[in-house]
Amino acid sequence: MNAGTFQVRRRLAHGWSGGVTYTVGKSMDNASSLGAGGPVVAQNDKDLDAEWALSSFDKRQQVSGNFYLELPWGPNRRWLKDGGRLAGLLGEWSAQFTVTLQSGTPLTARVLGAASDLVRGVNGSLRADVTGAPIALSNPTIDEFFNVAAFSLPAPGEFGDSTRNSIIGPGTRQLNGLFQRDVRMGATRSLTLQVNAVNLLNTVQWAAIDTNINSPTFGRVVSARPMRTMTITARLRF
């Protein structure tokens, strides 16, 4: 694995702080099961060089950032600093945002239920053949995330000639938000209010792609990550 990380941060001043981290890297290995979530043996144990490819956890680019802001309403802030009902409702709130942008992890076009696998007591180690057509699509859709015409079934008794992890899976784009306020209630008592939003922009994010070439849904998006969820929390301290 080779990677480089660059980071920029700003300390809290004038009511805001934040930071951005960018990582670019590339990881390769010949271990089919490393990071794959399940045991998958080599397609051909007499040709381990053919297993050398992108790691199952490889993410070429990653950007993560956070931003903290004291909202400008209430005591000692820009607006509504003289009190009043509106200031009591909107004052002293802070907001924190976190954003994640990252490339997708690679996937392998496999043949499930192949006779050669069943004889060895495994399943999914046989890979598809490549036709020479480009794999990536400029405008992937739910019905065709990658070019299914780039793969074909290998001849009976033959090993597939496609490499492991030749399909780059869907990436991640997510913005989360946390809004918080502390309400002083006298003496040692205080009330903390929080509104936590996951996937604040309600962005549709594809999760799983069917890469089983002998499946009727080969190349399709078969699941998505959760949509926006919001949680309101009140914590009383005394």
Q: What is the tens place of the pLDDT at every residue in 187-213?
A: 788 889 999 999 999 999 999 999 999
Lowest mean pLDDT among 26-35, 45-54, 224-233: 26-35
Residue 238: which pLDDT band, with cuts at 50, 70 and 90?
confident
Average pLDDT, the chain: 90
- pLDDT above 80 (res 64): yes
Residue 114: which pLDDT band, with cuts at 50, 70 and 90?
confident
Residue 74: which pLDDT band, with cuts at 50, 70 and 90?
confident
What is the extent of the structural domain holding 87?
2-237
- Whole-prediction pTM: 0.82
- pLDDT above 90 (res 14): no
The answer to whether 28 touches 53, Cβ cutoff 8 Å, is: yes
Reported as type and span, the H/E element at residue 95 is: strand 93-102
- The CA distance from 191 to 47, in Å, is 65
Q: Which residue has the higher pLDDT, 133 or 189?
A: 133
- The CA distance from 149 to 137, in Å, is 11
Q: Which pLDDT value is given to residue 226? A: 94
Residue 66: which pLDDT band, with cuts at 50, 70 and 90?
very high
Residue 128: which pLDDT band, with cuts at 50, 70 and 90?
very high
Q: Which pLDDT value is given to residue 84? A: 67
Residues in the chain, total: 238
Query: Which residue type occupies 55?
Result: S
Q: Which two tokens stand for residue 66?
A: 């956070």
Which residues have C-beta within 8 Å of that of residue 4, sequence separation ≥ 6? 23, 24, 25
Q: Which two tokens stand for residue 112?
A: 């499930």
Instruction: Compute the average pLDDT of residues 80-100.
Output: 79
- pLDDT above 70 (res 18): yes
- φ/ψ (deg, to 5) at 15: 85, 10
Instruction: Compute the average pLDDT of residues 216-225.
Output: 95
- pLDDT above 70 (res 38): no
Domain count, the chain: 1
- The CA distance from 133 to 120, in Å, is 31
